[in-house]
Amino acid sequence: MSGKFTVDEEVRRSSKIRSSLLVPLLILALAICFIADIAFGTISIPFREVVRILFSEKSQDEAWLFIVQEIRLPKAITAVLVGCGLSVSGLQMQTLFRNPLAGPSILGITAGASLGVALIMLSAGTITSIYTIKEMGLSGSWLLITASTVGAAVIMLVILAISASLRDNVVMLIVGVMIGNITLAIISIWQYFSSPEQIKEYLLWTFGSLGGVTKQHLIVLAVAVAIGLIVSFASSKLLDALLLGENYARSMGLTVNRARLLIICSTSLLAGSITAFCGPIGFIGIAVPHLARALFNTSNHRILIPACCLIGVGLMLICDIASQIAGSQTALPINVITSLIGSPVVIWVIVRNKNLRGF
Amino acid sequence: MGTLLNIDGLTIGYRNGSKKVKVAGPLNIAMKAGELVCLLGPNGAGKSTLIRTIAGLQDPFEGTVKIDGKLLSDLKPMEIATKLSVVLTDSVRSSNLDVYSLISLGRNPYSGWLGRLGRKDREVIQNAISATHLENFLDRKMGQLSDGESQKVMLARALAQDTPLIILDEPTAHLDLPSRIEMMRLLHRLAKETNKAILVSTHELDLALQVADKIWLLKKDGNVDAGLPEDLVLNEVFEKAFEKNGILFDRESGTFSIHEEGQRSINLKGSGAAAFWTKRALIRNGFVVAENPQLPLIEVAAHGNSWLIRTNTSSSECSSIEQLIGELRKLAL
């Protein structure tokens, strides 16, 4: 009996030491990134003043106070929500499809969400431009979230139905990309017949922006993302079982269809709500789960989901900072930066695995 | 000792669109605890379909499967997961899982709602690891394992699920010969030591004949012959089931002979390994070994390094089987 638990304990110890060092380091890095994100911007505000506004809510300059409290703080919080939500939805999709390149932007899920948004923004006349939706306040933003989430869920169900008969990952990926293309084509046709003002609104939205979320909408987005994250975390045991594929999951007592529905719902809610407010933001969803697996060396979703949140938030904040410094006076669209940072990660994944199978 | 698994009037098959295609049945078979049953049959006879149906992964067309006296169709998925565990042919090599994490997934039906493992869970996992001798592999990723090792990990996962019945679908496919033997021996030992019922579908006829307590032979016509391996051999069941041109089941050795019946007859005298391998060489070269004093005779020396060919007219000595065969060719026998 004496040596019986040594191996087990050793395994647990090594991973414990790793995460016990990693987590505080990551959180510290996040705090620094968060404050840096607020400190940098198109209008330069002294760093000390930024810290003072954040902690005492007072400033010598009313404009600075307004900029930090009403623009930069909501934007940084949006970056946090986007980082968590997209990473976790990507992680869930990679496990569900058993595909290392699954992610909201790749498999056309964000395209589906875009379709939902286009439906609201480009339909019926002038009443429904995104500006007027925002003027409608809370009910309008929920409408946008619902349309976007339903759009994402529909595309995800279609892809899942096709994946049931296609076992090949590469073929699956191509099908996902094609469905994304079809969705975008439908949107293009729609744009063609819409008025220039509406198209401009929509195009600006597709660039992706963290800045478009006002304090009021932030609450709506935060609630949607929080629900999505809680449901995801609660399904971590289901996700673990699905790692071996559906047959094994079923043999371990999982009601696969119910689990799949739950995962699709939370994934669509996360990707859909974020896409509704911030536009289609690429590559965070696919890249972060790989970084989390490599950094925490585990496939346990109980650890991976919080890990994805930490890394996703960090990456999103860094992307946001980069988008402002690079353009100095005018900020670059966030989508450009996430692609620049995310694409190399995807290439690294493919090169490391030598093929598309390993995840 | 009562039966653990009861299969009554079971008809199995698959659905092609809305069409039902019957593969086998009606089957009536049973299995006891502590028994290792090998499911044999030619390709397409429905081995995998039967395995999947018993495992509850697929619905039967008719009939019932009972485990521990309870109907499989009445049990909830979670209850089934505590009655039977499976090793399937589905690939798990692509996953990033390490061996320990994969084995501990077997505790999924028992662990807390977030999948947290308790003390009892860890103990069961440890036992599964030591039963399969995987202690030195725990930190490896599944992608780094050989086929044999990865099958052992999947078996360990099934053991960790701690069920009275374990079902394995062709666990020895893709394995090299030593791994196949090791896997079958491991299953045999597990059945005896843990009193679990183990059902294995396999193509390894000779291994199955050696380790199985019982054999279920699923035939092309959709019926099953169940019984002790020895009884099935003596009743000529095997010969009929695998009947194909040019392939003969040798009842004496329990193996298939892959050579066509020879045209030339020869008499062989001798014993031990040398005589056995001489016979094999003769058969491969188209001879039928028969005991008939009229025929040319080969005498194998007891120590096994000299062979004597006697015909009515001549006699010659050879020092290897290669030389012997060459000599026979020269004599044009």
| A107 or B299, greater pLDDT | B299
Higher pLDDT, A326 or B268: B268
Alpha-carbon gap: B290 to the closest alpha carbon of chain A (Å):
53
Chain B: give the shortest CA distance to residue A319, in Å: 28
Contact (CB<8Å) B92/A300:
no
Q: Which H or E run includes A230? A: helix A215-234
DSSP string, A50-84: HHHHHHH---S-HHHHHIIIIIIHHHHHHHHHHHH
Strands (DSSP E) along chain B, which ranges? 3-16, 19-32, 36-40, 62-67, 70-71, 84-87, 165-169, 197-201, 214-218, 224-227, 248-250, 255-257, 264-269, 287-289, 297-300, 307-310, 315-318
| CA neighbor of B23 nearest in space, from B8, B37, B39, B43 | B43
Band (pLDDT 50/70/90 cuts) for residue A78 is very high
Q: Which of B88, B96, B135 sits opposite A358 (nearest CB)?
A: B96
Residue A92: predicted pLDDT: 94
Q: What is the dihedral of CA A98, A101, A106, A110, to 10 degrees?
A: 50
**What tokens appear for A95 in the block?**
């496990």
Buried/exposed code over A103-139 (b: 16+ C-beta within 10 A; e: otherwise): bbbbbbbbbbbbbbbbbbbbeeeeebbbeebbeeeee
CA angle at A29 for the pair A27 and A32, rounded to the nearest 5°: 110
Distance of residue A291 Cα from the nearest chain B Cα, in angstroms = 13
Query: What's residue A124's pLDDT?
Result: 52
Residue owning tokens 């899942």:
A160
Reported as a pLDDT band with limits 50, 70 and 90, residue A301 is very high
Of A8-17, A170-179, A241-250, A341-350, the range with the highest mean pLDDT is A241-250
Least confident range from A15-24, A41-50, A336-345: namely A15-24
pLDDT single digits (tens) A315-335: 999 999 988 875 566 778 888
Going by pLDDT thresholds of 50, 70 and 90, the confidence category of residue A354 is: low
Give contacts of A 217-236 with B, CB under 8 A: 233-234, 236
Do the beta carbons of residue B6 and residue B226 sit within 8 Å? no
d(CA A328, CA A207): 18
Place of tokens 């005589």: B275
Distance of CA A244 to the CA centre of its chain: 25
Band the pLDDT of B181: cuts 50, 70, 90: very high
Task: Please give the pLDDT value at position A132.
Answer: 56
pLDDT over threshold 80, residue B219: yes
Burial A280-289 (b: 16+ CB within 10 A, else e): bbbbbbbbbb
Give per-residue pLDDT as tens, A209-250: 888 787 878 888 999 999 999 999 999 999 999 999 889 999
pLDDT (average), residues A182-203: 81
Residues B296, B313: Cα–Cα separation, whole Å = 10
Lowest mean pLDDT among A53-62, A132-141, A152-161, B289-298: A132-141
Strands B287-289 and B255-257: unpaired
* B124 in contact with A, Cβ within 8 Å: no
Least-confidence region, from A44-48, A167-171, B24-28, B217-221: A167-171
pLDDT band at A346 (very low <50, low <70, confident <90, very high): confident
Q: What mean pLDDT do residues B155-172 have?
A: 95
Residues of A in contact with B92 (CB under 8 A): 244-245, 248
Tokens standing for A174?
A: 């191509």
The domains located in chain B, with CATH, are: 3-243 (3.40.50.300), 264-331 (no CATH)
| In chain A, % of residues over pLDDT 70 | 85
Confidence of residue A12 (pLDDT cuts 50, 70, 90): low
Question: Which pLDDT band, with edges at 50, 70 and 90, does A1 fall under?
Answer: very low
What confidence score (pLDDT) does residue A131 get?
56
Domain ranges of chain A: 14-353
Locus of tokens 């030598």: A354
Chain A and chain B share a number of CB contacts under 8 A equal to 103
Read off the pLDDT of each residue in B49-56 and give the average, rounded to a whole number. Answer: 93
CA gyration radius for chain A?
21
User: For A25-29, A217-221, A302-306, B260-264, which range has the lowest pLDDT when averaged over its residues?
Assistant: B260-264
CATH of A14-353, one of 2.40.40.20, 1.10.3470.10, 3.30.590.10, 2.60.40.2140: 1.10.3470.10
Q: How distant, in Å, are the alpha carbons of A60, A217, B194 from that of B208?
A: 87, 67, 20
Q: Is B95 on the interface with A (CB under 8 A)?
A: yes
> A21-42 burial, b if ≥16 CB within 10 A, otherwise e?
eeeeebeebbeebbbbbbbbbe
* Token reading at B16: 């092609």
pLDDT value, residue B291: 78
pLDDT of residue A138: 55
Picking from B57, B96, B125, the nearest residue to A251 by CB comes out as: B57
**Does B139 sit within 8 Å of A252, measured CB to CB?**
no
pLDDT for residue A99 is more than 70: yes
The whole-chain average pLDDT of chain A stands at 81
Whether residue B55 and residue A251 make contact (CB cut-off 8 A), yes or no, is yes
Q: For residue A100, with 0-12 CB atoms within 10 Å meaning exposed, 13-18 middle and 19 or more buried, which class applies?
A: buried
* ipTM of predicted assembly, 2 dp: 0.81
- When mean pLDDT is compared across A113-117, A171-175, B196-200, B210-214, the lowest value belongs to A171-175
pLDDT for residue B67: 94
Question: Can you say whether the dihedral through the CA atoms of B8, B13, B14, B15 is positive or negative?
Answer: negative
Integer-rounded Cα radius of gyration of chain B: 25
Question: Averaged over A189-202, what is the pLDDT?
Answer: 79
Let me know: does A239 contact A308? Beta carbons within 8 Å: no
Inter-chain CB proximity A300 and B101 less than 8 Å: yes
Residue A166 has pLDDT above 70, yes or no: no
A257: left (phi over 0), alpha (psi -120 to 50) or beta: alpha
Chain B residue numbers with beta carbons less than 8 Å from the beta carbon of A164 are: none
Q: What is the mean pLDDT of residues B324-331?
A: 86
Option in B76, B81, B105 nearest A244 (CB): B105
pLDDT at A19: 65
State how far the Cα of A251 lies from the Cα of A242, in Å rounded to an integer.
Answer: 11
Give the residue-averaged pLDDT of B234-253: 73
* pLDDT reported for residue B4: 93
Kindly tell me the sign of the dihedral angle through the C-alpha atoms of A161, A167, A171, A177: positive
Per-residue pLDDT, averaged over A165-190, amounts to 78
Is residue A81 within 8 Å of residue A270, measured between CB atoms? no
What integer pLDDT is reported at residue A356 of this predicted model? Answer: 43
Joined together, the tokens standing for residue A24 give 């505080």
Contact A248 B88 (CB under 8 A): yes
Nearest residue on chain A to B96, alpha-carbon basis: A359
Spatial separation of the C-alpha atoms in residues B218 and B227, rounded to whole Å: 12
Distance in angstroms (rounded) separating the CA atoms of residues B309 and B296: 7
Confidence (pLDDT) at A61? 83
Tell me the pLDDT tens digit for each residue of B307-325: 888 888 888 888 888 988 8
- Predicted local distance difference test score (pLDDT) of residue B199: 97
* CB proximity B254 to A under 8 Å: no
Q: Which residues of B touch A236 (CB under 8 A)?
A: 114-115
Angle in degrees, 0-180, between the axes of helices B119-131 and B177-194, rounded to the nearest 10? 130
Question: What span, in angstroms and rounded, lies between the C-alpha atoms of B298 and B316?
Answer: 10
Provide the mean pLDDT of chain B: 87
pLDDT at A328 (0 to 100) = 64
Calculate the CA dihedral of residues A59, A60, A63, A65 and round it to 10 degrees: 0
pLDDT at B245 over 60: no
- Cβ within 8 Å, pair A298-B101: yes
pLDDT tens by residue, B21-40? 898 879 999 999 999 999 99
Q: Of the ranges A114-118, A266-270, B154-158, B199-203, which one carries the lowest mean pLDDT score?
A: A114-118
What residues form DSSP beta bridges with B31?
B5
pLDDT, residue A140, reads 65
Residue A301, token pair as written in the block:
């979703």
